[in-house]
Every structure is written in structure tokens, then in C-alpha cells.
Amino acid sequence: MLTRRSMLLASAAAATLPAGLPTGLLAPGAAAQTPPNVLVFAKQIDDIISLDPQEAFEYTASEIAGNVYQKLVTTPNSDPSKIEGELAEKWEASGDNKTFTFTLKDGPKFASGKPVTAEDVAFSLTRAVAMNKPPAFIINQFGFTKDNAAERIRATGPKTLVLTTAEPTSLSFLLYCLSAAVGSVVEKATVMSHAQKDDKGGDDWGNGWLKQNSAGSGSFAVRQWKASESVVLEANPHSDAAPKVRRIIMRHMADPSAQLLGLQKGDVDIARNLVADQIKQVQSDPKFSVQSARKASLMYLSLNQKNPNLAKPEVRQAIKLALDYEGIQKNIVPTTYAVHQAFLPAGLPGAVTDLPFKQNIAEAKALLAKAGLPNGFEVSFDYASAAPSSDIAQAVQANLAAIGIRLSMLPGEMRAVITKTRARQHDIAMLRWGSDYFDPNSNAEAYSINLDNSDNAKNRTIAWRASWEIPELSARAIAAREETDSEKRTQMYEDLQRDHQKVSPFVIMLQEIEVAVSRAGVTGFDMGPMNDRHSYTNITKA
């Protein structure tokens, strides 16, 4: 589809482009459609570092893990708070909530054709604990260590797995954590046959091999990964979740315009990184279908409590009331973000989705006056210089100027902004935070636990980074985590979020929306709130 502007550009360029002409002669009848049975994604995949599910923590790798491996339990995207068995048939907690027994299903088989056993599950969880890679803390937080894993993670029969946690644990908390990509079950025999000796006399748990290969029971198996180029997945013929297409090819296309062209041309079935105006362009076109899912990723302002002005409770609330959330969302990120104001993103259990803050300049000014700052003040503002952060930052600057708070703008590379907030050197910073795993505790801990506010604290949560000392809220967040009654637990999180909104130095503004655009006739791509919940199993091509 050529718009008028692009036509003009193209014809203007045609005159200056004789060097490009010979290309046509080389490609008689360039491909128009992707082959049937092969699904082609266009996606930015240069975030992949490793495909080992016990190591990977990046978006694309988590997504692949979700399609190549199975976990004990998972949550359906249609009802994300519900826990379903994936490899596990049933599970039960002991009376003291410290011993958990899982019974495995009979059906699941690895790509090698061998059935999934409790031994494989125990091996996989132990592997996560022992390798201690970035996502390991999700499992480790239940008290597992390299030394006690053998007695606390046990296969007591071919289909029976027993986990023993250090403290009494909420069953839902444990299950949600086990549903993360790090809980993926790998085939012990295959992985260990590729284990390499490391320099300390041990082995690498097959990590070197599993970075580029797979040994799972999910719908697909990894056939090839070329960094920054492509990932090829092949259907796992033995999987009990048999896919509809035989092959998935994920091509790295860094440029969204190239993704759109490929989609229009039929060389791409699903484009994953289109930007807002491109999405707008295809939204009304019957040749494409646009689908979206709320992502567990928030954009928020962190107000450093080391700044005496920002430490005043009235100032924090005044800032929350000064922003034009709706205007920002509509004008800058209409398709890729939604307004959200609680620390649990929509889609996660317990998320509060009502929006208590609306722009109210008069009230915000009154609050500032009450804080003794009727004429406002000046603070620095760090934000990522890339779009859309830069545009949102300017809107924030304009909104706050209206109540007299003058922001001196400090755009920077994303990691530089993070580095600065980790050192607690910012005043106001605009950041993004994605949940680590599918449990309310992931964000509750980040935003509302800070038990040691000293400069050399061990646990440096987002609350710590804002120097926000909150013994009472921390205790409540911990109590919610430990609550074993799951309904009561959800209620505790809802209360926590509402109280958090009233006092916190975090202005939670937006929640990311992930958008995928498919060619008409391509259906069944199931998107979830976390990357490891995106499923390719039911994708079909007409």
C-alpha cells in the first residue's frame, strides 16, 4: 500500500537510482508468499543472549522458551489468574505449607520421544539453582541453594516430585513462580550428554550447548539460532501440544518500516515491532489484522526522596495530579501504551485498574502551596532519549511547568539513566519496569519493600533507588507474599496498591501494550501479559 507521500518520494528517487536497477534482473519473480506450513515473524531479536531457559531473561528468549519448553504449571491467557497444570496433573501442599508434592501427567514427551519424568523436572529446577544465572532468584527465593537442592528438590518416583521450601509458603506464590520461563523442564539425558568440563573441575550443566539448542517438550524445538539474523524452530513431533505449522522462522528486522514492507509484500506473516503510526495505517486495512495484549511493563516517574522538596508528601501527590495522563496516552502512544496507575500491571493477579488520578492543576497547586512551595521549584529530570520516552518527557515537563515545577531535562541512553537511579543520584527519572515473573510479589517487592535504606543495602529495590524508607509498607508486602489463603492474598495486594497510590514517590503513568500485526488468514497467535506466555501452538495459515 503506497501512500501519496511515499509515492512522491519513490518517483523522485527513481530518477536518481539507476544503480539500483540491475537488482531487478537478478530476481525473476521475487517471492510473494511465505510457504504454507511455515510461519514467518519479523521481529527485533538482537536481545537474545542465550536460549538456555535457566539462563535467559530477555524478551525474545523468554518467548522462545515458552514455546520450546513446558513448565509444571502455567496460566491461560484467557484467564491469567487461573493456574493450570502443564506437565503436572495435580499438586498439593502439606499442612505446614512447606512441602509440595506434584504428580506429573502421562502425555508430555520431549523432542527425543522420551516421556517427561520427575527426574527431569528435579534436574531442571536444580540446574536453575546451581547455575545461579540472572533468573535463578525466582526459584532461589524459596530457600533453595546449591548445597540443599539435592534434599529439597526430589523426584520420589517416576511421576512424583517433592519440593521443600525453607519457610511456610503461599501455594499460589510458588506456582506462579514455577510458571516462569526459568521453571522450564529440560531433558536431563540430552542436556548432560552435552555437558562440558569447566575450569573449576565441575561441568557447565550443558549450558554451553543449551544456549544454542533445545531439549524440551514444548510445541517446537530450536533448529538454528543466528545472532541478530534469525531463529528457526521446528515442530516437535512428540509434543502433546502439537503445533499447527511445521516451522517458525523469526527474522531479525531492526527497522520497523522494513517489517511493514515485508508484511505488505507477503514475505512476513506477523510483524512484531511496528510503531504507532504504522499500526494506525494498517488498522483499517482488511488485508491485516491487528492484535494487542497488555504487557507487564510500566512506565513511571521515580521521585528521589533524597531531594528535600520531593520528599514532601504533598509534592508527591501534586505531581501525580499535574499530569495529563489521558492526553499523553492519546497523543503520543495511542496504540502502544494504556493509562495505568497502580504498581501491578493489568493482567497480573490482584491488579488494581481504576484510575484515581486525573489532571487537576488547581488542586495540585494548592498541594504545593500547602507544602510551602507556592512558587514551585526546580529539579533535574532524567529520561531515555529514544522515542517515545523523549516525547512523553516533554509532555511531563509542560504539565509540571503548569504548577510551577521546572524540570531541567537530562536525556540519556536508557542504561545511563538506570545506572544513575541505581546510584540514587537522580531527582526525577522516567523509567520502565517489567515484572520478572507472573506473581504480584514481583512488582510488590520492587515498589514497596525497602527494609534497609542505607547506601550499602543488599536488596536494592526500586523503592530503595528512590530512597523511600517504608518499614510499615514493607511488612505488609511481605505479609501478602506469605499469605497462604489465595483470595485473602489478592485482597491484601489490592489494598496495598491503593495505599501506595496515596503516598508513594512513584508516579505510575502508563502500561505497555504489545501489538502484533498479522496478514489476513493468519490466526491463532496467542499473546499474554508476559513474554513467555506468547504461544505459537495454535497459529494457522489460511
Partner 1 sequence: MSDSTTSPADQPPGGQPAGGRRRPSAFRLRFQAVSATLASIPITLFGLVLVTFFIGRVVPIDPVLAIVGDRAPQDVVERTRLELGLDQPLYVQFWRYLEHIVSGDLGRSVMTSNPVTQDIARFFPATFELATVAMVIAVVIGVPLGVLAATRQGKWVDQAVRLFCLAGHSLPVFVLGLVSLLLFYARLGWAPGPGRQSIYFEGMVDERTGILTLDAALAGDWGAFQDALAHLAQPAAVLAMFSLAYIARMTRAFMLGELRSEYVTTARAKGLSRRRIIWGHAFRNTAVPLVTVLAMSYAGLLEGAVLTETIFSWPGLGQYLTVSLLNADMNAVLGATLVVGLIYVVLNLLSDLLYRLLDPRVK
Stretch that binds partner 1, among 324-332, 360-368, 455-463, 494-502 (CB under 8 A): 455-463
- The reply on whether position 258 binds partner 1 by CB under 8 A is yes
DSSP assignment of 184-222: ----HHHHHHT--B-TTSSB-TTHHHHTT-----SSEEE
As measured in angstroms, the least distance from the Cβ of 229 to partner 1 is 4
- The reply on whether position 196 binds partner 1 by CB under 8 A is no
Sole binder of partner 1 in the list 127, 152, 188, 251 (CB under 8 A): 251
- Long-range (24+ apart) CB contacts under 8 A made by 205-209 are 205/54, 205/127, 205/130, 205/131, 207/50, 207/52, 207/54, 207/55, 207/131
Comparing CB distances to partner 1, the nearer of 46 and 147 is 46
CA distances from 403 to 24, 315, 355, 363, 382 (A): 59, 11, 21, 10, 19
Comparing CB distances to partner 1, the nearer of 226 and 502 is 226
- The reply on whether position 94 binds partner 1 by CB under 8 A is no
CA distances from 89 to 110, 121, 521 (A): 17, 13, 35
CA pair distance 337, 328, nearest whole angstrom: 10
As measured in angstroms, the least distance from the Cβ of 9 to partner 1 is 5
- The reply on whether position 50 binds partner 1 by CB under 8 A is yes
As measured in angstroms, the least distance from the Cβ of 464 to partner 1 is 10
CA pair distance 222, 210, nearest whole angstrom: 10
Sole binder of partner 1 in the list 25, 78, 151, 284 (CB under 8 A): 25
Comparing CB distances to partner 1, the nearer of 156 and 419 is 419
3-class secondary structure per residue, 325-354: HHHHHHHHCCCCEEECCCCCCCCCCCCCCC
CA pair distance 322, 346, nearest whole angstrom: 23
Sole binder of partner 1 in the list 2, 242, 479, 503 (CB under 8 A): 2
- The reply on whether position 32 binds partner 1 by CB under 8 A is yes
Stretch that binds partner 1, among 72-80, 89-97, 254-262, 304-312 (CB under 8 A): 254-262
- The reply on whether position 57 binds partner 1 by CB under 8 A is yes
Query: What are the two backbone dihedrals, phi and then psi, of residue 366, each rounded to the nearest 5 degrees?
Result: -60, -40
Stretch that binds partner 1, among 17-25, 343-351, 397-405, 484-492 (CB under 8 A): 17-25
Site string for partner 1, 126-155 (x = CB under 8 A): --------x--x------------------
Pick from 183, 171, 158: nearest CA to 91 = 171
Comparing CB distances to partner 1, the nearer of 154 and 211 is 211
As measured in angstroms, the least distance from the Cβ of 148 to partner 1 is 18
Sole binder of partner 1 in the list 119, 203, 204, 267 (CB under 8 A): 267
Pick from 236, 152, 144: nearest CA to 190 = 236
Pick from 381, 468, 442, 391: nearest CA to 417 = 381
Pick from 238, 178, 187: nearest CA to 213 = 187
Cα 516 off chain centre by: 15
- The reply on whether position 274 binds partner 1 by CB under 8 A is no
Pick from 440, 522, 7, 98: nearest CA to 268 = 522
CA pair distance 239, 260, nearest whole angstrom: 33
- The reply on whether position 171 binds partner 1 by CB under 8 A is no
- The reply on whether position 43 binds partner 1 by CB under 8 A is no
Comparing CB distances to partner 1, the nearer of 27 and 542 is 27
Comparing CB distances to partner 1, the nearer of 8 and 401 is 8
- The reply on whether position 261 binds partner 1 by CB under 8 A is yes
Say which DSSP state 18 is in. G
Comparing CB distances to partner 1, the nearer of 262 and 376 is 262
Stretch that binds partner 1, among 193-201, 228-236, 340-348, 523-531 (CB under 8 A): 228-236
Comparing CB distances to partner 1, the nearer of 36 and 157 is 36
- The reply on whether position 454 binds partner 1 by CB under 8 A is no
Sole binder of partner 1 in the list 66, 108, 206, 262 (CB under 8 A): 262
- The reply on whether position 526 binds partner 1 by CB under 8 A is no
- The reply on whether position 23 binds partner 1 by CB under 8 A is yes
Cα 278 off chain centre by: 23
Comparing CB distances to partner 1, the nearer of 230 and 360 is 230
Q: 326-337: buried (b, 16+ CB within 10 Å) or exposed (e) per residue?
A: eebbeebbebbb
Comparing CB distances to partner 1, the nearer of 93 and 298 is 298
Check if the beta carbon of residue 516 is closer than 8 Å to that of residue 272. Answer: yes
Residues 6+ apart with CB under 8 A from 74: 83, 84, 86, 179, 533
Sole binder of partner 1 in the list 232, 361, 369, 409 (CB under 8 A): 232
Say which DSSP state 79 is in. S
Q: Using DSSP bridges, classify how beta strands 247-252 and 99-104 pair: parallel, antiparallel or unpaired.
A: unpaired
Residues near partner 1 (CB under 8 A), total:
66
Comparing CB distances to partner 1, the nearer of 47 and 526 is 47
Comparing CB distances to partner 1, the nearer of 202 and 374 is 202
Residues 6+ apart with CB under 8 A from 117: 104, 155, 158, 159
Sole binder of partner 1 in the list 49, 131, 241, 398 (CB under 8 A): 49
Say which DSSP state 243 is in. -
CA pair distance 323, 302, nearest whole angstrom: 14
Residues 6+ apart with CB under 8 A from 506: 300, 301, 302, 303, 343, 447, 462, 466, 500
Residue ranges binding partner 1 (CB under 8 A): 2, 6, 9-10, 12-14, 16-17, 19-20, 22-27, 29-32, 34-35, 38, 40, 46, 49-50, 57, 134, 137, 211, 223-224, 226-230, 232, 249, 251-255, 257-258, 261-262, 264-265, 267, 412-413, 415-416, 418-420, 422, 436, 457-460
